[in-house]
Amino acid sequence: MARIIGGIGTSHVPTIGLAYDKGRQTDPAWKPLFDGYKPVAEWLAQKKPDVLLMFYNDHANSFFFDCYPTFALGVSPTHEFADEGAGPRPLPSIAGHPGLATHLVDSLVNEEFDLTVFQERPLDHGINSPLGLMWPHEGGWPGALVPFEINVLQYPLPTARRCLKLGHAIRRAIESYPEDLSVVVVGTGGLSHQVHGERSGFNDEDWDMTFLDLIVNDPDKLADMKHADYVRRGGAEGVEVIMWLAMRGALGDKIQEKHRNYYLATSTAMGVTIYETVDSTQESAIATPEHAA
């Protein structure tokens, strides 16, 4: 049977990928960010998941405002990465997992989540910006990818509660898949930022820390928040952190944060985290993680 072995929350800022491609990992301005992804890469190397299921939003590269789906799931045997105007990034295409993906489609539709199903649509920085920092890819990727697009661009957006429920349904679907697979779920987006209007350049570090604490300890409180609450606290584009709630819902009731890195050097607060599910025998032994600045 398939099983979820952990989760990752990560920003997907496009400049992360650009800096990576230019080899700026040790530049003083970028080193704190890239160093924060090293424990994530090490954790994935240790866990060796067969599949990453990534919640992301397409930035009008493969889906457009004339027809932008609320939820869309990719079922292709191979996924390529989008040319977002400056040429394609030097990343190899990545295998999909049509078996798991089509099983998710069937399960989610039967749980009344109406999905768009896509093939052969390239994936933009919503996925590829953090993916290259987490998984080695010279000569090919170590596992498969199931991309799950969530609309956080064109209103009306799915509610935060709907995203949390989506995660619950995905957990049930994965656990009912008969093949022996290990899966890591990844929520992307954020953290606080706004890139337009009167508040362009807005950030709120206090809100970011509150969000990162609540995603572990009280996701229902986050699910009760309205979109306007997210925009007010985290900026207009900061609302995209509702995609982390889909990841959180897939992890079960109790989780432990194993790693957190937070870096605010540009207009977007950038974070990356690792989560593992906690069973009843582990609860008394949970240690507080070391948070990187």
Residues annotated as catalytic (active site), given as ranges: 125, 193
* DSSP-derived 3-state class of residue 149: strand
Query: What letter would DSSP give residue 28?
Result: T
Angstrom distance (rounded) from CA 211 to CA 221: 10
Q: How far is CA 141 from CA 52, 54, 138, in A?
A: 11, 15, 7
Give the count of beta carbons closer than 10 Å to the beta carbon of residue 29.
Answer: 11
**Most distant CA pair in the chain, distance:** 51
Angstrom distance (rounded) from CA 202 to CA 196: 9
- Yes or no: say if 125 and 84 are a contact pair by the CB < 8 Å rule: yes
Give the count of beta carbons closer than 10 Å to the beta carbon of residue 153.
Answer: 16
Token pair belonging to 110: 């039967």
